[in-house]
Amino acid sequence: MDNELIESAIRAMQRAYAPYSGFPVGAAVRADNGRIYAGCNVENAAYPLGTCAETAAIAAMILDGGQRITAVAVAGEGAALVTPCGGCRQRIREFAAPDVPVHLADSQGHRASFTVQALLPEAFGPDNLA
């Protein structure tokens, strides 16, 4: 388990802009350069224009020169686990191998871990286009 990564996702969740859903989410990715990039969900009054936390974290990674994800953490509150949405699972797969861990947390810490493969079985990824 990657406590530093999970703590980054929790801090990002606390900065989320979620006035419409009231459902803040934070995410953090560890990149191949060893750095951690965090993101939070940012909602918009025109609902489809919002940004998921995972998308924000991946964009920050790419902007800084990271190319591959080596671990992911997603933080959100609720009785059920907060997992990446379908679109974000695909976005994660673009930059992460199937065996990359995805840690799920709430404000109290780690709750569960899966691999990218477990969250998106038989995923279509860059290797399908090679």
Of 53, 126, 51, residue with least CA distance to 95: 126
Q: What angle do CA 93, 18, 113 make, to 5 degrees?
A: 35
Catalytic residues: 54
Dihedral of CA 55/81/106/117: which sign? negative
